[in-house]
Amino acid sequence: MLLVPGEDEEKRIKTVEEKKKRKKRKEVIKKKKIK
C-alpha cells in the first residue's frame, strides 16, 4: 500500500482531529453525567 506522502499526511491529520473530537465528546458526556 503506497500512498502519496501529501495524501498520507492529510489522512493522518484527519484521524488525529477525529480522535481529539471523540475525546472532547467523551469529556462532555462525563460532565453531563456528573451534573
Tens of pLDDT, residue by residue over 9-34, are 888 889 999 999 999 998 888 888 87
pLDDT at 14: 92
CA distance 27 to 31: 6
pLDDT at 1: 52
∠21-9-13 over CA atoms, to 5°? 10
pLDDT at 3: 57
Q: Give φ, ψ of 24 to 5 degrees.
A: -60, -45
The 3-state secondary structure of the chain, one letter per residue: CCCCHHHHHHHHHHHHHHHHHHHHHHHHHHHHHHC
